[in-house]
Amino acid sequence: MKKNFLKLAFVMGVCVMMTSCYTVTATIGNGSQTGEQVVGHNQFLIGGLVPVGIANVKEMAGGAKDYQVTVTHTFVDGLLSAITGGLYTPTTTIVKK
Q: What is the pLDDT along the chain (97 residues), one digit of tens a residue?
A: 788 888 888 887 776 666 666 788 999 998 888 889 999 999 999 888 899 999 999 999 988 899 999 999 888 888 898 899 889 999 999 999 9
Residue 92 lies in a domain: yes
Residue 16 domain-assigned (yes or no): no
The answer to whether residue 85 is domain-embedded is: yes
Residue 9 lies in a domain: no
Number of structural domains in the chain: 1
**Residue 29 counted as domain residue:** yes
Domain that holds residue 25: 21-96
Instruction: Burial-class residue 28 by CB neighbours within 10 Å (0-12, 13-18, 19+).
Output: middle
Structural domain contains residue 6: no
